[in-house]
Structure formats: structure tokens, C-alpha cells
Amino acid sequence: MEFIKKNYKYLLLFLFFLVSLIFFGFNNTDIIWNYGMAHAIRIGEIPYKDFNIITTPLYPFIMSLGLFIKDSYIVYIIEQSLFLTVYFYLLSKLLKDKTYILLFVFIFPVFYTIFPNYNFLVIFLITLLIYLEKNKANDYLIGLVLGLLFLTKHTIGGMVLICSLISCFSIKKDIKRIISFLIPNIIFLIYLLVTKSLYSFINLSLLGLFDFGKSNNTIHWFSVIICILIFIHLIIRFIKDHKNINNYYLLGSFSLIIPIIDFFHMNYLIAIYFIIIVSELDNNIIDICKKLALPLILVTVLINISVNTTVYKDMKFSKFKHFEGYITTNSYEKELDKVYKEYKRGNNYMFSLSNMFFDISTDHKITYFDVPLYGNFGYKGVSSMNKKIDSMHDVYFYIQYNDNVQFCEDIYNHIKEVSKKEKEINGFEIYYKE
């Protein structure tokens, strides 16, 4: 009972995150894709070899653990809510009573930063690094966290590692960090060799970066302006104090927006920026921010509730397998149901942004078709996927065009060229390839 009294605020935070993820994250395709990757690992599939993941896989491996208890979307969301609660416990250790300011930063304006994906784990680990540096932690421990960050997203982990080593101004400290950095990554290399997925990893996550960079150079100018302003402030901070370790971690965090500078990725950079700035603010400013934080959180929640209930008027919990706790609409589910009944039978593949939902709920394997985005198929990935399609026979393709700029229209068109159209169901064209 005493424990509950002391920690009730974390129980409230957990419930807040759980409800928020259920009611504000249901229309986000990224959440389904990330659940699908954890689900694939849960059913014994091998990342890179069996399905296309372009990052290092620590986050889906962690999130797959709860799915061994029950392979369900709601369990996945519960896991993320627990993860978020632990993260805000860490923030409370770093920021003390300033934490609620960060809660507002994380949910404003549309809760993106709390959604389950590898970027959240990136922020978690960078925050942990800032906390460890502040408390003069052992360099071996800091190196181990840097290694875990590399296993979460190798491009970001590599950049943050370089910045961390530069910040030390000591070869002895750098060597300690590099040694412990290598430990989890050597284990990962052994895993790739044992599962015979090393080549696929190199193709998707290293060589594939060339295709990804060319295909996904999305730039939203509002986001660019915000990032430029943060960078200018960072330069000023370096001029004032080039030994401030926080500056180096903020510099490394700019890799969060490479190559896609959009509103979604900008949110994560802003979160790191505010964590550092808030940790250094004086008490007078903090008092004002604390008074504003809770009302702003309430307003943000109410606006999102208003928007969702206006746009999605007939919301309900999904009836599809593995998607307990997932909110959909009655009209949309009726449309899905017609496709679902046919798709779950026979030798079928789907090429649509809805792939992962259908493959999870029908117990299909997760494949390279499930994340149909440019840059997600390795080096010269479109060509290799088209060759794969050419080699497939006696299969049905359920395809659905989407005007998302990342949707791989070239593969979509190739399926249409080499197959014969059979029929159309609720926006899905069904093609048969002999």
C-alpha cells in the first residue's frame, strides 16, 4: 500500500499512455507495421531474411517478448505504455519536478512521439546517456548503452557514438566506451551469422541506404525551418561552452531527421532538444512552465478527442484476430471483412499499405511485401522485387494503390503488367499470376 502511495503518479501515467495509444494511435499505419515486425519475430521469422526491416532490430525484439504471453495488438500497446512509464521515471530522475513540461512536449500536437516505433527507443537511450553523463557514470556502462542505441538504429547510433567519443576529450575514456560498445554488436553479428541473414542485413540496412536516401528525401519546409533554428541555437551553445556534453548528444540527435525532414521525425528531435533545454532552465522559468503544462496537456487531449470523434463517427473495437483493443470504424470494418474472407484462403499476397493488418489477422507470414515503401527493399530493391514477382507462379495478388509519396508505385505497376486482373473488391484489385 505504501508503494502505491509513493508511486501512484506512475500508475496514472501508465493509464494515460494506454488510453492515449488506444484512442489516438489507431489510424497510424506505422504502429501496425511495428507491431507486425514484433509479431513476425514472435512466430519465428528472421529479420532481414524473411521480412524487410531496414534498421537494426533491438526494438521489435524487445516488443516481441510480451507477445509470447498473448500475440495481440492490445498487449503490444500495453508494452509500449509500460515502456513510456519507465521512460518518464527516468526523466523524473533527470529533470525532477520539470517532467510534466516534457509530457506536454511529447504529446503535442498529435501524440506522435509516444507511438511505438524504434525512434521512441532511440530517444529513451539518448536520454539515458544524458542522465549517465550528468551523473559521471562508468565509461563501460555508457559504451554499452551506445551499443544498444546502434542496435536500435544503426545510422543514429553511429552518429551519436562519434559525438560521444569526441565529447570525452580523452583517448582512455574513448577506448573503454568502444570496448563495451562492441559487446552487444558482436553478439548481433553472431546472430546474423547463425541465422544466415548477414547478407540480407547488409543489403537492406547498409547498401539499401543508397536507395532509401534517393527515394525518401521528403522535405517539409516548416520542419526544415524549425530544425535550422535548433541548429543555430546549438552553434551558439557550442560557442558559449564547447565542453558541454549535452551539446554533443543534441548534435548526434540531428541524425533523427536524415534523410526525411518532416513533421513526424522533427517531433523526436524537438523532444531531445527540450529535454536538454529544460534540464538547464532556471527555476523562475520552470515555475511558469509548470503552471502552463497541465492545462496545455488537457487542451491537447480535448482537441484530439474532438477531431477523432468528428472524423471517425462510428468508432468500435476491431473483431479481427490479433487486433483486440484496436479501434476501427464500423463502416471500414465492413469493407475490410469482404476482402478478409477471400484473402485468408489460398496462395495470396497483398501489396497495399494495409498489408500488415491483413497478414497478421489471417496468420499469413510477414514478407517483403508487407512494408511496400520505396527504399525498403535493399540496394536496387525495386528491380530485385520485380524479379521475385516474375519467379512466382499460381499466386493471387491483392493490390491497392495509395498516393503516399513513399508507396512503391513501380512494384504495384509491375504486378499489374505480369498478372491478369480477376476482379475488384472494395478498392482492392485482385490479379492472378499463372
CA–CA dist 400, 349 (Å, integer): 12
What tens digit of pLDDT does each residue of 319-329 get?
Answer: 999 999 999 88
Residue 259 has pLDDT above 90, yes or no: no
Query: Cβ(31)–Cβ(117) under 8 Å?
Result: yes
pLDDT confidence of residue 4: 67
Q: Which three cell numbers stand for residue 132?
A: 549517465
User: Grid coordinates standing for 248?
Assistant: 554533443
Q: What is the pTM of this model?
A: 0.94
- pLDDT tens digits, residue range 364-373? 999 999 999 9
CA-CA distance, 54 to 205, in Å (whole number)? Answer: 5
Q: Confidence class of residue 14 from pLDDT cuts 50, 70 and 90? A: very high
Q: How distant is the alpha carbon of residue 127 from its chain centre?
A: 16
How many CA atoms lie less than 13 Å away from 208 in the CB half-sphere?
25
Share of the chain above pLDDT 70, in %: 98
397, pLDDT greater than 90: yes
Give the integer Cα–Cα distance in Å for 417 and 419: 6
Report the chain's mean pLDDT, rounded to a whole number.
Answer: 93
Kindly report the length of the chain: 434
Q: What is the per-residue pLDDT across 92-130, written as a single tens digit (0 to 9) for each?
A: 999 887 888 899 999 999 999 999 999 999 999 999 999
pLDDT at residue 280 in the model: 85
Is the pLDDT at 287 greater than 90? The verdict is no
Q: Give 150-203 pLDDT, tens digit per residue.
A: 999 999 999 999 999 999 999 999 999 999 999 999 999 999 999 999 999 999
Predicted confidence at residue 107, as pLDDT, reads: 93
Q: Which of 346 and 8 is assigned the larger pLDDT? A: 8
Task: Render the burial of 64-78: b for 16+ CB within 10 Å, e for the rest.
Answer: bebbeeebbbbbbbb
- Residue 342 contacts residue 425 (beta carbons within 8 Å): yes
With beta carbons less than 8 A apart as the criterion, state whether 433 and 425 touch: no
Q: Lowest mean pLDDT: which of 15-24, 256-265, 276-285?
A: 276-285
Domain ranges of the chain: 2-307, 317-433
Within a 10 A sphere around the Cβ of 354, how many other Cβ atoms?
19
Residues 112 and 267: beta-carbon distance below 8 Å: yes
Mode of pairing for the β-strands spanning 420-425 and 428-433: antiparallel
Phi, psi torsion values for 198, nearest 5 degrees? -60, -45
- Residue 3 is predicted with a pLDDT of 64
pLDDT at 311: 83
Q: Indicate the pLDDT class of residue 1, thresholds 50, 70 and 90.
A: low
Rounded CA separation 111/398 (Å): 32
For position 388, what pLDDT does the model report? Answer: 96
Whole-angstrom Cα distance, residue 224 to residue 353? 27
Q: What is the mean pLDDT of residues 81-87?
A: 97
pLDDT value of residue 2 = 66
Examine residue 109 and say whether the peptide bond preceding it is cis (omega within 30 degrees of 0): yes
Segment 140-153, tens digit of pLDDT: 999 999 999 999 99
